[in-house]
Amino acid sequence: MKPRTYSTTGIILARKNYGEADRILNLYTKDFGRISLIAKGVRKPTSRKRGHIEIFSLLKLTAASGKGLDILIEAELIDSFSEIRKDLNKVSLAYFFMEVIGKMTHEGEKHEELFYLILKNLNRLKDDQRLKTLKDAYIVDVLVLLGFWPKGEKLINPEDKLEEITERHMSSKRVGKLLVS
């Protein structure tokens, strides 16, 4: 149960424009798992939060519980992963990482280890050039952590197993395959 006002650290999984100036954010947080927030007025050119809320950015945030969606009050950028954003292949893989978590978790589902796994892989992505290996290892780690695959067991085709479990085609996969394979 979240308090009326709360602070946590989170990674932005996805965002969607809402109304004329607002944006709905999906985040995976250390303390509350996957949450959705509304960032009021963030699309206005004068918004101070505007630059902080990009997909796969790491934020320290404060939010207030609302009737529907919680409301983002404050956002402080911890890491924008600018090293990743300079390389199209790495950006594609980072988006894939976020999509996997978005499709494998549910709102309010808390796994602190999953938060640290995402963070570890984003940090590895900054320097690592073996993107296909990193992508496959990430999928296996997520499947093991969420209980869909036994630890230590070899998985021949992680992407196929992921799609079988989610029962969905991973839209970033196609881009990732073209760029990462």
Query: pLDDT tens for residues 98-109?
Result: 999 999 999 988
The backbone torsions φ and ψ at residue 151, rounded to the nearest 5 degrees and listed phi first, read -65, 135
Kindly report which listed range (34-43, 111-120, 130-139) carries the lowest average pLDDT score: 34-43
Strand partners, 25: 15, 37
Domains defined along the chain, listed by start: 5-79 (2.40.50.140), 82-180 (no CATH)
First-to-last C-alpha distance (Å) of the chain: 42
The pLDDT > 90 percentage for the chain reads 57
pTM of the model: 0.87
Euclidean distance between CA atoms 173 and 166, whole angstroms: 13
Q: 5-18 and 22-29: which strand pairing?
A: antiparallel
Query: pLDDT tens for residues 126-181?
Result: 998 899 999 999 999 999 999 988 888 888 888 888 888 888 777 654 444 444 44
Tell me the pLDDT of the chain averaged across its residues.
87
Strand partners, 23: 17, 39
| pLDDT value of position 171 | 60
Query: Tokens in use for 133?
Result: 């290996």
